[in-house]
A and B are shown apart, each in its own frame.
Chain A
Amino acid sequence: MKRLLIIILFLLFAVAAKAQIAIDTLSSEALNELLIEQVERMAEDSDDDIDYEELLDNYIFLSDNPINLNSDDMVQLMELHLINAFQYEELKKYRRYYGDFMFLDELAMVEGFDEQTIEIIRPLVCVGQDNGKDKITFKKMARYGKHQILGRYEQVLEKQQGYLPTTDSALLAKPNSRYLGCPQKLQFRYTYNYRNRIRAGIVVEKDAGEMFFTDKVSDTIKALLGKKYSRGFDFIGFHLYAKDLGIVKAAVLGDYQLSFGQGLTLWSGMTFGKAGAGSSVMKQARGISPKSSASEYAFMRGAAVTLGKGPFSGTVFYSNRLVDANISIADTLDNEAEYISSLQETGYHRTIGELLDRHAIRQQIVGGHLSFAIAHFEVGYTAHHTWLSVPLELRPSHYNQFYFQGRQLTNQGIDFKYVKGKYAVFGEVAMSMNFDSTALRQAQGPLAFAGLVGLTVKPAGYLNFTLMYRDYGKMYQNLYSNAFGEGSRNQGQRGIYLGVEAAPAPYWNILAYADLFQFTWLTSQVNAPSRGHDFYLRVSHSFNRRTNAYLQFRSKTKMKNSTDGQVFSHYPIFYTKNTVRFNISYQIVGDLHCSNKAEYAHYRNDDGSNEHGYFLCQDIAYKPEHLPFSLTFRYAIFDAKDYNARVYAYENDVLYSFSVPALYGKGMRFYLLGKVKLFNSLTLYARIGRTIYSDRNTVGTGLSQIEGNHKTDLKVEAIWKL
């Protein structure tokens, strides 16, 4: 298998030498750097796995299908926080006064568009006539539509614990001690796009360890799995999306994401969280968007449509999806009642246990959104109702007693936004209604509230402040909220945020924020209401067009239970993590880019001891303009005693894929990424990365444990564009 791959790669490289000249997607270094920054901040903020693929999908889609500067689609740049609300307003103003853009360079004359912003958005925009209202015909769709096929293979080359041979009886005794499938991860995807107005796609995926066509399991295991036994692609999704068809502003069938207002009532997809700091704390909702990635959690499956006329628009949607959950049976006096103890969010179906939980219950959501928008003002109302086919009953604990439980949940919210001149005001209030309450909640009533309000002031072109207050009730329950906050849960939290963005001198930028927060109820591993703060400062400087550097400080203090074994009950105490990062990137010659990064993380334990983490790396990217290939290489060393002082490092990856490993322990890591463009339509990527530890002889834990001091990951991808 390996040898075959090598031969194929070799052949392809040989062919590539004759291929044509082509330009890379995401070729803009400025855009790439912004993306890296966003992702690293998201990774630091979240303990969960984030679906970065969705974010990257959006960027790649835009760079493949640039937005017309003269169309209303420019709002999409605001959705990705590439421009802020003021810049968007200025853009509209410019068009009102001077008419449509004739050249891209006119952007420099729009107030608030500095060199850096233009550099970032340049690859994503174009100048043309606004033909968004053209009639769509099948003939045109066939002629101008773009097709894309993607195939990706990835694998950890070392043998992991979960793949070691075992016997049936051993497996039956410990059913979750092995993965049933093969260690390859595969994904295929087909997408179609006609002028950004009609989009369609199919994606199939199999994670590492999930059963594929070639895997065989014994009859006993098969019998144990029963109906849950399935081979082949574990995830299959599709979408069909259209927009701007007369009164129909957007319509989708299949998998999609919804986002409205500030995300407190409904925001199903990816969001920037605190990564969108400064003036981009105010969110720009996307409404309906198709989901083309293979992530298996937090999306809608069904249909949605947005109709609009004049200042009014309305959306209705319905989603019906099987989700993973652990079903238990409670013996009551009368009969047996099924309930679930948790909803599984990983999307992995590798072990017997994970397979038994697969698609265990049905989740239905129905809802809608109404909005009224005039020149500077926008107000919206969102409502949705969720049903689970089996009620959720969490394992009782103090911290989770206000979490959503039961079978049904209703959410409603009102959001508003006003942007004019030097001011932007935004906010959302939301309400949850859970009538399936337990006795305790009945005492408090089924209703709970949450709200946020914010203000951004721009006293001068180079300076803006944002102040935001949030108060999410401790009983506010929502399975699909994703508003600004500390941690991933918009519940039981109060906070005040102050952010500043400034350009005090040419080529200097400052971004700073302070977020003070309180948890009004216990949280996981925090046995009392707690509080904390998050301070951030980033100073960046451009030495010239090719050389950029930044220095970043972050200090975050949160409370967590003391781990002191002497005490009778665990009480929360403060923990602080400080990080300092320096990054410099420069272009040596046209084709050769380098960057260096140094990061220091410091974590203070409750016994007063300190943990330190260090990371240094050198990146070299060779991207010749007139040759159809590129190479990216990284060499890094890291030294962090423990997970607490871990360091996140974004790595370049094959297109549409992400890698942000959290490094800790002691060792080095390198990767080599190659890209070859063949015949102008076919692009191949291959990436190999290896982490070598000097302080341990096993890598990882549990089923992913590897005997040895290194871990090697390989990815190969092909993208065919028609």
Chain B
Amino acid sequence: MKRLLLLIAIITLTSTLFASDFIHIMGGRAAAMGGSSVASQGLWAMQNNPAGMANLDKISFGLYYENRWLLPETAYKCGAFALPIKKVGCLGVSFNQFGSSKYNENKIGLAYARDFGRYLQIGLQLDYLIMKIGNDYGTFQAFTFELGIQSHVTDKLTLGTYIFNPVSFKFKQTLNHEKLPIVFRFGLAYQFTKDFVGQCEIEKNTERSGVSLRGGLEYEAFKNFFIRAGVQSNPGILSFGLGYGIRFAQINVAAQLHNELGASLQIGMIFSIGK
């Protein structure tokens, strides 16, 4: 009962922000670092800033699950596959879903990223979005795209910019004038030492008031074993997590705490094939 009430509360709260959850930070590392990810690399960059997967050198496959507020009804699920091709760039497909059978948002993405030398990586993802509202309210669809760039401007500093839906595509039809937001974020990652990274970024989502600031730290405590922590504003969230990687697999877990809504747990796994 309590859960149901909370669910109702959340849905009413977010109903003014309908369809703004298509764009959600994915990956256990990003989740542990307060959501900061615009200047990060790796498979999940496909969702967070496609430019970051330009330098993937192995065929990779990943799964991610976020138990948001510990409710199955508000969970995120994501799967991604990336195929680097020499001299062409990196291709990727992804699928992610938020919600339950009563209300869900789905995004299918086709990504491409390319490295133009040390100083420039560009990524693009074409998206097909489906919003489904239960009880025969219907299914709503939209096409859009997302763009990102990254630059390793010095040995230590990486900058990234990412825009989702830059030309403000809309749903083909809507129930209640739901808008597809433009999401714009940029930020940096700074490699303080070989084993210590700090990241921060700013995000503006046109369907939310204010901006969100995010920052995170990562420390490689032992070889291949990472400790992470982060903070995010609007909504105010504290996060921390752990990560462990071996040659062909990585696992990252994270927990996020929100003062009113409680905790969320995230787990992500990446498997890679090749040398």
Q: Which residues of A contact B (CB under 8 A)?
A: 543-544, 546-547, 582, 584, 586-589, 592, 594, 596, 598, 600, 612, 614, 616, 618, 635, 637, 639, 666, 668, 692, 694
Contact = CB atoms under 8 A, between A and B. Distances in A.
Nearest to B190: A543
Contact of A586 (B159, B163, B166, B182): B159
Interface stretch (B70-78, B92-100, B147-155): B147-155
A635 B153 contact: no
B34 to A, nearest CB: 17
Contacts of B168: 668, 692, 694
A618 B204 contact: no
Interface in B177-231: 179, 182, 184-186, 188, 202, 204, 206, 209-211
B186 A589 contact: no
B206 A543 contact: no
Interface residues of B, number: 27
Given A589-B117, A635-B166, A637-B184, A598 B202 contact: yes
Nearest to A598: B202
B232 interface: no
B166 A547 contact: no
Contact of A596 (B120, B161, B166, B211): B161
Nearest to A668: B182
Given A592-B120, A692-B168, A586 B202 contact: no
Contacts of B151: 586, 588, 594
24 contacts: A543-B156, A543-B157, A544-B153, A582-B202, A584-B188, A588-B119, A589-B116, A589-B119, A594-B149, A594-B151, A596-B186, A616-B184, A616-B185, A616-B202, A635-B163, A635-B166, A637-B184, A637-B204, A637-B206, A639-B204, A668-B168, A668-B182, A692-B168, A694-B179
A547 B119 CA distance: 12
Contacts of B159: 584, 586, 594, 596
Contacts of A692: 168
A444 B202 CA distance: 57
Contacts of A586: 151, 153, 159
Given A588-B153, A616-B184, A618-B184, 15 more contacts: A543-B153, A543-B154, A544-B153, A547-B157, A586-B151, A587-B153, A588-B119, A596-B161, A612-B209, A635-B163, A639-B204, A639-B209, A668-B182, A694-B168, A694-B179
A614 B154 contact: no
A35 to B, nearest CB: 22
Considering the complex of A and B, which 7 residue pairs feature the smallest CB-CB distances, nearest first?
Answer: A588-B119, A596-B186, A547-B153, A588-B120, A586-B153, A618-B161, A598-B202
Contacts of B184: 616, 618, 635, 637
A592 B179 CA distance: 34
A637 B182 contact: yes
Nearest to B117: A589
Contacts of B163: 618, 635
A614 B186 contact: no
Nearest to B149: A594
Given A589-B120, A635-B166, A666 B206 contact: yes
A587 B159 CA distance: 11
A616 B211 contact: yes
Main secondary structure of the interface of A (DSSP, over half): strand
A592 B116 CA distance: 12
Nearest to A586: B153
Nearest to B166: A635
Nearest to A666: B206
Interface in B111-165: 116-117, 119-120, 149, 151, 153-154, 156-157, 159, 161, 163
Contact of A616 (B117, B188, B204): B204
Contacts of B179: 694
B120 A614 contact: no
A614 B157 contact: no
A592 B159 CA distance: 14
B199 to A, nearest CB: 14
Interface of B: 116-117, 119-120, 149, 151, 153-154, 156-157, 159, 161, 163, 166, 168, 179, 182, 184-186, 188, 202, 204, 206, 209-211
A582 B200 CA distance: 12
A588 B153 CA distance: 7
A546 B157 CA distance: 12
Nearest to A638: B204
Contacts of A635: 163, 166, 184
Contacts of B116: 589
- Give the most central of B154, B166, B182, B184: most A CB within 10 Å: B184
Contacts of B204: 614, 616, 637, 639
A586 B157 CA distance: 11
Contacts of B156: 543
A586 B118 CA distance: 13
A696 to B, nearest CB: 14
Most chain-B CB neighbours within 10 Å: which of A586, A635, A637? A637
A544 B154 contact: yes
Contacts of A594: 149, 151, 159, 161
Contact of A600 (B117, B153, B182, B211): B211
A662 B235 CA distance: 28
Given A596-B161, A637-B182, A546 B153 contact: yes
Nearest to A590: B119
Nearest to A592: B120
A546 B152 CA distance: 12
Contacts of A616: 184-186, 202, 204, 211
A618 B157 contact: no
B191 to A, nearest CB: 12
Contacts of B166: 635
A408 B168 CA distance: 59
Contacts of A612: 209-210
A694 to B, nearest CB: 7
B18 to A, nearest CB: 15
A156 B152 CA distance: 39
B209 to A, nearest CB: 7
Contacts of A614: 204, 210-211
B69 to A, nearest CB: 27
A639 B202 CA distance: 14
Contacts of B149: 594
A382 to B, nearest CB: 49
A18 to B, nearest CB: 27
Contacts of B206: 637, 639, 666, 668, 694
Contacts of A666: 206
Contacts of A544: 153-154
Contacts of A588: 119-120, 151, 153
Most buried by B among A592, A612, A666, A668: A668
Contacts of B154: 543-544, 547
B67 to A, nearest CB: 31
Contacts of B185: 616
Contacts of A582: 202
Contacts of A694: 168, 179, 206
A598 B119 contact: no
Contacts of B153: 543-544, 546-547, 586-588
A614 B185 CA distance: 12
A554 to B, nearest CB: 18
A589 B120 CA distance: 8
B126 to A, nearest CB: 18
A612 B209 CA distance: 9
Contacts of A584: 159, 188
Nearest to B187: A596
Contacts of A587: 119, 153
B56 to A, nearest CB: 20
Nearest to B152: A588
A594 B122 CA distance: 13
A596 B157 CA distance: 15
Which of B151, B179, B209 has the most chain A CB atoms closer than 10 A to its own CB? B151
B142 to A, nearest CB: 16
Contacts of B186: 596, 598, 616, 618
